[in-house]
Structure 1
């Protein structure tokens, strides 16, 4: 199942993305994703003709232009492993989008096919992004809710997760590949990985109860595709794992089904989320 792992061209810089996913390459309906690593002064222009888009400045700072809207100095941190959330610009479909690095920067462009957006282009700042500490013990991880179902958008859901060395996340294993009213929603999902130190790897299993059973070893800069099935992640001892999740589907609600084999370790109410706090803190 190597088609679920998209390996980065880690030496690539400038206008060529280090990693790229399209609905066509993934074999699904909605999500596109790419990452650019830019030197100061380098500029990228992307098309959003039929795509709701988020330009996420993972590291560094960029000036972002969406149609007639200009957003200078977007960015809040030097590393995805810092305690600060990122900043990003939300872009409805049909407007030209460009971003230019004012210092060295890493920028993710997350898209979903959509016939319309919600509202005008907007700059979402670090202090507007909620923080959650999820799990306990060896399942503890730190989460930033960039664009969840409570924030205005048509299709996109965005979250980033830092999993300490030796811990598990996306756990207990759960899936969201069927439309079951009030129980589960269909959401495609990508995982964009960064590893600290960068020579390491994470482990991710993507499986169902029929014919899918892939164990993947994403390295720094790689993307894992989750078109269906359960998808737990392990961060090996000695390495901290970061990932940015993009989700999109028929609707825009995150409902999931926990693998029954792990029900004994799940919260009794089935809700795997922790306490969400507003403000840029960890």
Structure 2
């Protein structure tokens, strides 16, 4: 695969910038159709606008707090998102916006807006952090923490499936490598996937935040050729239209976070995957291995980690 083909699916921080936005993924990206993502960093007095019709959204504070003024069927509502200090401080409250709603966002910090085009209207909903399901997935060095605020079990959405994952330093996630690029009823679903990454030194480290990094890989499946083997840093984005993907590995000394945004053309909204057969056996080892004791992150009884 050529370097040009590889760069088609991996985008360093700022390379997808538009006015007011640090990064925008939408249907203007060649080969992309079902999902979108917008990321912005706001200061006091800044405002970003999401008013394109026919798009459902989930507003996710990455750091900081925000006010979202949303208009739907002539009604204007303001929702305050308490947010968090950083993506490594546990779950945040989020706001699901119906495809009939437009929104204006103000505040201070970093915010992500996950998107998917749809004409199917579902009710706007504010989900407080206390109601977000927290899953400790995997075991041992494959342990990670998943915040399932936008999965089918937690959110009534039309197409979007959204979650975020925290991988402690030295651990692997998105592992075993897996794919979701074929429609096999009950076994696998077709889903585009966006990975938005952040990385930070472990608590108490003398390292500069700019030094923090992880690794991410994606490779071909029968559905198509793709090759990503990249160092990932805060603000970087990987797009997975098809193919096996994983691991996402947190380097020693640095924790790794990613926001996943998924949607696809199948009639059912479901996340069904197929592991790479060469590595599927790894799941069987988790039954006899404990979860990494560093998890969960964001335990409020201990206060913020950063």
**Length-normalised TM-score, structure 2:** 0.82
Q: Deviations over 1:145-182 (max 9, x none)?
A: 11111220001111101101111000111110111111
Rounded Cα–Cα distance in structure 1 between residues aligned with 2:226 and 2:80: 44
Confirm or deny: 8 A CA contact 1:71 1:123 kept in the other structure.
no
Alpha carbons of structure 1 residues 267 and 117: separation in structure 2 relative to 1, 3 Å:
farther
Give yes or no for the alignment of 1:258 onto 2:275: yes
Deviation at 1:265, TM superposition (A): 1.2
Q: Which residue of 1 aligns with 2:97?
A: 91
Q: Which residue of 2 aligns with 1:191?
A: 195
Deviation at 1:268, TM superposition (A): 8.9
Q: Which residue of 2 aligns with 1:244?
A: 259
Q: Of the two, which has the highest radius of gyration?
A: 2
Confirm or deny: 8 A CA contact 2:221 2:242 kept in the other structure.
no
SS at match of 2:269: coil
Rounded Cα–Cα distance in structure 2 between residues aligned with 1:54 and 1:132: 20
Q: Which residue of 2 aligns with 1:277?
A: none
Alpha carbons of structure 1 residues 223 and 44: separation in structure 2 relative to 1, 3 Å:
same
Rounded Cα–Cα distance in structure 1 between residues aligned with 2:182 and 2:82: 36
Rounded Cα–Cα distance in structure 1 between residues aligned with 2:285 and 2:179: 18
**How many equivalent residue pairs?**
268
Deviation at 1:24, TM superposition (A): 2.3
Rounded Cα–Cα distance in structure 2 between residues aligned with 1:78 and 1:193: 16
Deviation at 1:267, TM superposition (A): 3.4
Deviation at 1:263, TM superposition (A): 2.0
SS at match of 2:8: helix
Deviation at 1:252, TM superposition (A): 1.0
Deviation at 1:206, TM superposition (A): 0.6
Q: Which residue of 1 aligns with 2:220?
A: 208
Q: Which residue of 2 aligns with 1:100?
A: 106
Rounded Cα–Cα distance in structure 2 between residues aligned with 1:44 and 1:154: 24
**Length-normalised TM-score, structure 1:** 0.88
Q: Deviations over 1:73-101 (max 9, x none)?
A: 2123111111x201221111132211111
Q: Which residue of 1 aligns with 2:134?
A: 131
Confirm or deny: 8 A CA contact 1:58 1:75 kept in the other structure.
no
Structure 1 unaligned spans of 5+: 275-279
Confirm or deny: 8 A CA contact 1:19 1:222 kept in the other structure.
no
Q: CA RMSD in A?
A: 2.3
Confirm or deny: 8 A CA contact 2:10 2:228 kept in the other structure.
no
Deviation at 1:237, TM superposition (A): 0.8
Give yes or no for the alignment of 1:5 onto 2:10: yes
Deviation at 1:26, TM superposition (A): 4.7
Alpha carbons of structure 1 residues 18 and 105: separation in structure 2 relative to 1, 3 Å:
same
